[in-house]
Amino acid sequence: MIRDDLITQITTNISSYTAFKVSSELPFTASGNALYVKNKKTVYVDEQQDEKVQLYRTLDQGEVYQTDTVVNVYLSTDAKNQPNSTDDVVAAILDAKSVATNPQLAECFVESEIEDDVITYTFEFNFIIT
């Protein structure tokens, strides 16, 4: 599963940044707050969303499919007192897109949002595998 591979790769990529850790839990909501907001400096990897899409139909009426996979990853830190290594950790998480074996497409985007005094980074990993 790509989700498991992402958890392993992100854990490896950020292992030298001891202020940060990776959770194997899903980013559920507890008492109205998402776990990644409650547990700052902890990376949470959401469930992967797979969609099987017909790529094309062959002359003998066979079908070739591709799998589109999306996985969201979350990280929150204190917006006022961010650790110095936050930018390096964000870059290390972005580098985890290399986990898919022979993908047609492997990309990752990150957005940040500040609410109250918490900055949340939301990473969207997209993989297309034929």
Average pLDDT, the chain: 92
- Do 68 and 51 contact (CB within 8 A), yes or no? yes
> Each residue of 12-33: pLDDT tens digit?
999 999 999 999 999 988 778 8
Q: Is the pLDDT of residue 5 over 90?
A: yes
Distances (CA, A) of 116 to 28, 31, 41, 77: 20, 17, 16, 11
Architecture of domain 2-129: 2-Layer Sandwich (3.30)
Over range 45-66, report the average pLDDT. 83
Report pLDDT for 70: 96
Pairing verdict, β 118-129 and 105-115: antiparallel
Report pLDDT for 69: 95
Q: Where are the domains of the chain?
A: 2-129
Q: Model confidence at 59, in pLDDT bands (50, 70, 90)?
A: confident
